[in-house]
Structure formats: structure tokens, C-alpha cells
Amino acid sequence: MHPRTKATLEDAQRAQWFNCVGIRDTEAAVVLSSWDEAIESCNSLDWENLCLEATNQYCERLIERSRERFNQWNVIVREMKPFAESLAREKTASVIAEFNLPKIFFNRVCWDILHLIMESEYADVYPPGFYASHAYWYVKGHFPCGWRGGQFPKGKLVIY
């Protein structure tokens, strides 16, 4: 694991996640009002497709800049997945228990953190972006869970 990735994970680990859900403390995103809305949003096909497209575009940029490094992607994913799952488990356990949140919530958080790690691991090839922006909201105590107001990049991120 690259030192910048360790630092990214340490910053995320120190933060209080989900302590500002539902609080309208920003104009930069659409803020939802309930866990039910957040789960519906994060489970939408549109959000899943946007996240997959963001990952695909990031990988395309990596291939353009260094096919050799990109060819290590799956190996690095296998190495980093336990770190993502561990952090996601630690940060979601209490909120999952308190609000009886479904598995899709944990899966979405895991996906976000794994891809944050991958953006960090490849930051020397192509700068972090989509998932680094998600990490910002986790650290701010919110849950990034959707997109509204137009086709990306037009519109706004949806958070809870």
C-alpha cells in the first residue's frame, strides 16, 4: 500500500462518519431527510450506473497513461479489498445496527472505499476524483448516495 493511501485511510478512520446525516449544512449537494430515502437513492439503477461509469472512465484514463500499471488493477484490488471492508465494517456497524440498514448500504460504502483506495493507489498516474469526492462527504459525516438535476457532471450529488 502506498503511503498516500495509508494517509487517506487514516484520515477516513479518524473521522466521525454519519454524524451529520439529514443535516442541511451545504448548498453543494442535495440533502435527503431519512435513511429510507438514502437507501432508495443508493440502490437506484441510475446511481449504480453512474458509479460504474465513473470507475470505467477512471480506468480508461489509466490505460491511456500507463497500460502497464493498469494491468495490475485486479491484483491491487485483491490486496486492497480487505482494508476497504475493514474500514467500512468499522464505520457502518453502529448505524447499521441502530437503523437496521440493509446489506446494500454496507455494499455501497465498501465499493466507495475500495475505489477511493484505488484512486489513491493510482494517483501518480491519474488524479483522484469521483471517489475522493465521496470520501469528503463521509469525513464530513454524510452518506453520498445519488445524483440529481441532470446528466453527470451537470446536477448535484445527493447525500444524506
Q: Specify the pLDDT at position 88.
A: 97
Closest CA to 110 of 136, 83, 79, 133: 83
User: Checking DSSP bridges between strand 144-148 and strand 156-159, what pairing results, if any?
Assistant: antiparallel
Sketch the domain layout of the chain as residue ranges.
25-159
pTM: 0.93
- Taking only the tens place, the pLDDT of each residue in 76-102 is 999 999 999 999 999 999 999 999 999
- Taking only the tens place, the pLDDT of each residue in 19-57 is 999 999 999 999 999 999 999 999 999 999 999 999 999
Q: Which residues pair with 148 in a beta bridge?
A: 156
Q: Give 129's pLDDT tier (boundaries 50, 70, 90).
A: very high
- Asked if residue 153 has pLDDT above 90, the reply is no
Q: Specify the pLDDT at position 146.
A: 97
- Please answer whether residues 5 and 11 qualify as being in contact, where contact means their C-beta atoms are separated by less than 8 angstroms: no
Other Cβ atoms less than 10 A from the Cβ of 140: the count is 18
